[in-house]
Amino acid sequence: MGKKETINLIDTFSEFKELKNIDRNTLISVMEESFRSVLARMFGTDENFDVIINPDKGDFEIYRNRRVVPDGEVEDTNLEISISEAKKIDEEYELEEDVTDTVNFLSFGRRAILTLRQALSSKIMELQKDNVFTAYRERIGQIVSAELYQIWKKEMLLIDENGTELYLPKTEQIQGDFYRKGDTIRAVVAAVENRNNSPKIILSRTSPMFLGKLFELEVPEIQEGLITIKRVARVPGERAKIAVESYDERIDPVGACVGVKGTRIHSVVRELRNENIDVVNYTTNLSLFISRALSPAKISSIRLNHEENRAEIYLKPEEVSMAIGKGGLNIRLASMLTGYTLDVFRDMEDENEDIYLEEFSDEVDVWIIEALKAIGCDTAKSVLAISRDELIQRSDLEEETIDEVLAILAAEFEDEE
């Protein structure tokens, strides 16, 4: 029985040492603590025991220290030994000396060994959880690859190379993602939570961090620090904008990120399920940055409101739809990238611009213009937007006068067309 238990105990140590990925010093500490907890439970204290662990060989030694006392005065057999018993071990022992003898832990029986194993398992598992939590907390924002193990309705379970469980929620998956069990998935570590003393690692493929890290993998200049990713904005699976900057004038950051014939950016696009990616040069010049963020639209002018973080964007009519983008996607991403709310207006200098009434003073009397301005009509289009009858009623002008004015204003725009 003793030999069998010894082998099993060594196997247990070996399993913890090799499979649990715990460093040697920590393993020794955990084993010693586990032995001491069993000894304290059996004898009331472990302070008079020396525990020596050798995890490399998978063995251990336990020594008990007892004070030599006169015969008949032993009060605690764990802490004291009679002089006659001490001399059986060695004739040279004297009173008040310490006797150290080897303890055969296996002689304590099956229950003691089982208790030890349970204590070891509990402590090793606790250490493993702490190690996983610490290791992955330091990897937040980094890309990991893991094998898909299980698919559930709200999330997927992945297993990394060390057997650690990772979770990819449905909300963090790109709409076009489709995987089967056994597939290898790349994602960024988004968060590490501690639930019921167990770490839960949350991954994401929709995070802007994922896009940034993919570019870092594809573009050596980013890895080397020659190009910096300043900002990222994404609508996952649809479109994204990334602002990059280089401190070396010899390097074109946009060109480097796109690559020769688009090779670098295409790798990122494929990983993101054909997400359309715009790469722009970052600048601290806000007007210029907003202009670049709205690419491919070309803006005429910008009026900034720093207090409200808003910007009025003026464009030619043919550029407006391009600036807004399909479903408002382009302007939404530009706003996310710049941090400003962007309001788009048609350029007042365009050929189809509105015209102030004063511009018609050579054809319309000033007093008529003043009468129209009095009812809130400052421009030609604001007058034309009101019905004839309403204009007559609100302005108190004669019907003939209103008809003449409407004809003059309408003719101006007809001529332009």
Number of domains in the chain: 4
Cis preceding linkage at 169, omega within 30: no
Please classify residue 294 by burial: count the beta carbons closer than 10 Å to its beta carbon, then call 0-12 exposed, 13-18 middle and 19+ buried.
buried
Is residue 351 included in any domain, yes or no? no
pLDDT attached to residue 210:
97
Q: How far is CA 335 from the centre of its chain?
A: 21
Number of C-alpha atoms within 13 angstroms, CB side, residue 134? 6
Check pLDDT > 80 for residue 11.
no
d(CA 54, CA 32): 10
Do both 70 and 146 map to the same domain?
no
Do both 47 and 61 map to the same domain?
yes
The 3 state secondary structure assigned to the chain is CHHHHHHHHHHHHHHHHHHCCCCHHHHHHHHHHHHHHHHHHHHCCCCCEEEEEECCCCEEEEEEEEEEECCCCCCCCCCEEEHHHHHHHCCCCCCCCEEEEECCHHHHCHHHHHHHHHHHHHHHHHHHHHHHHHHHHCCCCCEEEEEEEEECCCEEEEECCCCCEEEEEHHHCCCCCCCCCCCEEEEEEEEEEEECCEEEEEEECCCHHHHHHHHHHHCHHHHCCCEEEEEEEEECCCEEEEEEEECCCCCCHHHHHHCHHHHHHHHHHHHCCCCEEEEEECCCCHHHHHHHHCCCCCCCEEEEECCCCEEEEEECHHHHHHHHCHHHHHHHHHHHHHCCEEEEEECCCCCCCCCEHHHHCCCCCHHHHHHHHHCCCCEHHHHHCCCHHHHHHHHCCCHHHHHHHHHHHHHHHHHHC
The model's pLDDT over 20-76, given as tens digits with 9 standing for 90+, comes to: 566 777 778 888 888 888 898 888 899 999 998 876 676 788 899 999 999 888 888
pLDDT attached to residue 3:
44
Do both 118 and 53 map to the same domain?
yes
The model's pLDDT over 270-304, given as tens digits with 9 standing for 90+, comes to: 999 999 999 999 999 999 999 999 989 988 888 89
Look up tokens 């015209």; give the residue.
355
- Answer for the pair 182, 241: CB distance below 8 angstroms, yes or no: no
Of 204, 231, 246, which closes a domain? 204
Q: How far is CA 174 from the centre of its chain?
A: 15
- Answer for the pair 311, 261: CB distance below 8 angstroms, yes or no: no
Do both 215 and 263 map to the same domain?
yes
Of 131, 147, 176, which closes a domain? 131
User: Which has the higher per-residue pLDDT, 162 or 27?
Assistant: 162
pLDDT attached to residue 17:
54
Residue type, 180: R
Do both 286 and 364 map to the same domain?
no
Do both 215 and 120 map to the same domain?
no
Do both 80 and 180 map to the same domain?
no
d(CA 235, CA 207): 9
Do both 217 and 338 map to the same domain?
yes
The neighbouring-strand residues paired with 304 are 311
pLDDT attached to residue 7:
40
152: domain CATH number is 2.40.50.140
Q: Positive or negative CA dihedral for 270, 273, 276, 281?
A: negative
Q: Which two tokens stand for residue 227?
A: 């190009």
The model's pLDDT over 181-197, given as tens digits with 9 standing for 90+, comes to: 999 999 999 999 988 77
pLDDT attached to residue 15:
58
Do both 249 and 295 map to the same domain?
yes
Say what the pTM is: 0.66
Do both 114 and 144 map to the same domain?
no
- Answer for the pair 298, 272: CB distance below 8 angstroms, yes or no: no
Residues above pLDDT 90, as percent of the chain: 46
The model's pLDDT over 118-129, given as tens digits with 9 standing for 90+, comes to: 888 888 788 888
Is residue 233 included in any domain, yes or no? yes
Check pLDDT > 70 for residue 10.
no
Is residue 247 included in any domain, yes or no? yes
Mean pLDDT on 77-93? 88
Is residue 243 included in any domain, yes or no? yes
53: domain CATH number is 3.30.1480.10
Measuring CA to CA, which residue among 125, 98, 6 is closest to residue 61?
A: 6
Mean pLDDT on 350-354? 57
Report the range out of 18-32, 73-87, 144-158 with the highest average pLDDT: 144-158
CA distances in angstroms from 79 to 96, 169, 318, listed in the order given: 12, 58, 96
For 296, residues 6+ apart whose C-beta sits below 8 A from its C-beta are 322
Do both 402 and 284 map to the same domain?
no
The model's pLDDT over 241-262, given as tens digits with 9 standing for 90+, comes to: 999 999 888 999 999 999 999 9
Measuring CA to CA, which residue among 153, 157, 213 is closest to residue 183?
A: 157
| Stated length of the chain | 417
Is residue 26 included in any domain, yes or no? yes
User: Which has the higher per-residue pLDDT, 361 or 210?
Assistant: 210
- Answer for the pair 129, 123: CB distance below 8 angstroms, yes or no: no
Q: Give residue 18's pLDDT band: very low, low, confident or very high (50, 70, 90).
A: low
Is residue 352 included in any domain, yes or no? no
Look up tokens 């597939």; give the residue.
183
Is residue 124 included in any domain, yes or no? yes
Do both 200 and 157 map to the same domain?
yes
Is residue 280 included in any domain, yes or no? yes
Residue type, 15: E
Of 166, 185, 204, which closes a domain? 204
Which domain does 64 fall in, by range?
2-131
